[in-house]
């Protein structure tokens, strides 16, 4: 089956890959500053959602990515405008890092007509076709197979396009994940699978759900997908592994699975803290907070004299203004017309 498909595809000969995994390698200063800026921007957007969620004007379920800013920032730094990104329920960072429109995202959370899904999708259904963010959907692993399909289409059309697909550790327990990996591995599709392993699926620990001593990374090679893992709270490390993976994928050498260890600070869904629930300890939460991807990176850039205090403050003021404008835009936008209700919706049995 794989052989006959290969015969239909355009040239699939891998090109040489020049990137090496040198642990001392760092991005240029301007790229590191841009990555810090994007991580801070994601954090400040999330903080504002948290601050305003209780006003009950954002009525959609919302999964915060606070604490998990490094993977989207470090991977997207290597993506081109024509590349695609797919994501799942915890997708704000992925959308923003790929260049998704902030105003349209906030308007979507407020259910307004100016939202990126016309106000009908909410936080879990973000999309920005212009930015190459082809969408988030909360059915676990569903966008993994759609993303692999997009990579297959790109290959068949001879397009230079890498597809980055983000998902959590819980999604790796879905059959669709394994089928998608296998198909991408067999056909050497230009895909970077990015697993944000935050150790939990809702309130279940990883070691209650998956075999002891078998990491997510180890699933890659059995499906013909090269795999690497690293510190998902370290922007430089994510950048380094992301660079290797995107180049491997783009060259046609092979798809790559990246497993990044990171941590969600807030409750599974919503803006609150959840240490009192008892499924994880306050000590564990605190230990990860101390390794905040945004502040630790700010400190490193300051120590290495890449970013000075004044420039950092100016950057923050700029982002604060942008975030405030996005919320003003959302709140002053109209709700969708009633006629929007069944537009862009597939009619099923019993639909109006
Ligand atoms: C097929 C499917 N089963 C169950 C759910 C309910 N569900 C929503 S999020 C979630 C946990 C996902 O965990 P993970 O993939 O690790 O992502 P995280 O929330 O930790 O970022 C579950 C079980 C779902 N959305 N889809
Ligand atoms: Mg998880």
The CATH number of residue 250's host domain is: 3.40.50.970
Of 189, 149, 145, 134, the C-alpha closest to 171 is: 145
Of 177, 134, 178, 168, the C-alpha closest to 154 is: 134
* Residues 257/48, Cβ–Cβ less than 8 Å: no
Smallest CA separation from ligand 1 atom 20, residue: 201
Confidence at residue 315, expressed as pLDDT on a 0 to 100 scale: 98
**Residue 164 within any structural domain of the chain:** yes
Cα–ligand 2 centroid distance for 289 (angstroms): 17
Look at phi and psi of residue 15 and say left if phi exceeds 0, alpha if psi is from -120 to 50, else beta. beta
**Residue 350 within any structural domain of the chain:** no
Confidence at residue 341, expressed as pLDDT on a 0 to 100 scale: 86
Output DSSP code: residue 307: S
Q: What is the pLDDT along the chain (352 residues), one digit of tens a residue?
A: 343 444 444 445 555 555 667 788 899 999 999 999 999 999 999 999 999 999 999 999 999 999 999 999 999 999 999 999 999 999 999 999 999 999 999 999 999 999 999 999 999 999 999 999 999 999 999 999 999 999 999 999 999 999 999 999 999 999 999 999 999 999 999 999 999 999 999 999 999 999 988 999 999 999 999 999 999 999 999 999 999 999 999 999 999 999 999 999 999 999 999 999 999 999 999 999 999 999 999 999 999 999 999 999 999 999 999 999 999 999 999 999 998 888 887 766 554 4
**Residue 101 within any structural domain of the chain:** yes
Residues 6 or more apart whose CB falls under 8 angstroms from that of 166 comprise: 71, 72, 85, 86, 87, 88, 91, 94, 194, 196
- Buried (b) or exposed (e) across 198-213, using 16+ Cβ within 10 A? bbbbeeeebeeebeee
Number of domains into which the chain is organized:
1
Ligand 1 pocket, 168 CB below 6 A? yes
Confidence at residue 342, expressed as pLDDT on a 0 to 100 scale: 84
Confidence at residue 31, expressed as pLDDT on a 0 to 100 scale: 98
**Residue 342 within any structural domain of the chain:** no
Confidence at residue 287, expressed as pLDDT on a 0 to 100 scale: 97
**Residue 1 within any structural domain of the chain:** no
- What whole-number distance in Å separates Cα of residue 271 and Cα of residue 53? 7
Give the structural domain span for 39. Answer: 26-336
**Residue 215 within any structural domain of the chain:** yes
Q: What is the pTM of this model?
A: 0.94
Ligand 1 pocket, 201 CB below 6 A? yes
Strands 163-168 and 191-197: parallel
In the chain, which residue ranges form alpha helices assigned H by DSSP? 2-8, 29-53, 70-76, 92-97, 102-109, 142-157, 175-186, 206-209, 219-222, 235-251, 282-289, 293-303, 309-331
The DSSP code sequence of 272-298 is S--GGGSSS-HHHHHHHHTT-HHHHHH
Confidence at residue 15, expressed as pLDDT on a 0 to 100 scale: 56
Residues 6 or more apart whose CB falls under 8 angstroms from that of 100 comprise: 116, 126, 128, 131, 133
Atom of ligand 1 nearest to the CA of 138: 25
Ligand 1 pocket, 124 CB below 6 A? no
Residues 6 or more apart whose CB falls under 8 angstroms from that of 208 comprise: none
Confidence at residue 13, expressed as pLDDT on a 0 to 100 scale: 59
**Residue 170 within any structural domain of the chain:** yes
Cα–ligand 2 centroid distance for 114 (angstroms): 31
Cα–ligand 2 centroid distance for 208 (angstroms): 13
Strands 133-136 and 163-168: unpaired
Confidence at residue 1, expressed as pLDDT on a 0 to 100 scale: 37
- What whole-number distance in Å separates Cα of residue 124 and Cα of residue 90? 7
- What whole-number distance in Å separates Cα of residue 240 and Cα of residue 221? 20
Smallest CA separation from ligand 1 atom 21, residue: 168
* From 122, 143, 196, 202, mutation site for ligand 1 pocket: most ligand atoms within 8 A of C-beta: 202
Ligand 1 pocket, 89 CB below 6 A? yes
**Residue 8 within any structural domain of the chain:** no
């Amino acid at each position: 089956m794989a052989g006959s498909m290969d015969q239909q595809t355009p040239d699939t000969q891998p090109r040489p890959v020049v990137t090496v995994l040198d642990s001392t390698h760092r991005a240029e200063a301007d790229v590191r500053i841009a990555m810090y800026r994007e991580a801070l921007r994601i954090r400040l957007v999330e903080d504002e959602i948290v601050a305003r969620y209780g006003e009950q004007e954002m009525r959609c379920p919302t999964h915060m990515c606070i604490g998990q800013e490094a993977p989207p920032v470090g991977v997207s730094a290597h993506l081109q405008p024509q590349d695609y990104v797919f994501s799942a329920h915890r997708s704000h960072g992925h959308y923003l890092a790929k260049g998704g429109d902030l105003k349209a995202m906030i308007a979507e959370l407020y259910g307004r007509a100016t939202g990126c899904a016309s106000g009908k999708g909410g936080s879990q259904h973000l999309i920005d076709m212009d930015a190459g963010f082809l969408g988030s959907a909360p059915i676990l692993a569903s966008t993994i197979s759609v993303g692999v399909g997009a990579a297959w289409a790109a290959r068949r059309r001879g397009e230079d396009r890498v597809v980055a697909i983000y998902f959590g550790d819980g999604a790796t327990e879905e059959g669709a994940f394994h089928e998608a990996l296998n198909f991408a591995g067999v056909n050497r599709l230009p895909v970077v699978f990015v697993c944000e392993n935050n150790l939990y699926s809702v309130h279940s620990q990883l070691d209650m759900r998956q075999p002891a001593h078998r990491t997510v990374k180890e699933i890659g090679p059995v499906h013909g997908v090269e795999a690497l893992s690293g510190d998902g709270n370290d922007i430089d490390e994510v950048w380094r592994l992301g660079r290797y993976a995107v180049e491997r994928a783009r060259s046609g050498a092979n798809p790559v699975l990246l497993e990044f260890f990171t941590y969600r600070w807030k409750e599974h869904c919503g803006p609150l803290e959840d240490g009192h629930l008892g499924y994880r300890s306050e000590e564990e939460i605190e230990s990860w907070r101390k390794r905040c991807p945004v502040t630790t990176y700010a400190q490193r850039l300051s120590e290495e004299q890449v970013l000075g205090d004044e420039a950092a403050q100016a950057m923050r003021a700029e982002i604060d203004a942008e975030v405030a404008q996005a919320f003003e835009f959302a709140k002053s936008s109209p709700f969708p017309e009633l006629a929007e209700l069944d537009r862009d919706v597939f009619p099923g049995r019993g639909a109006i």
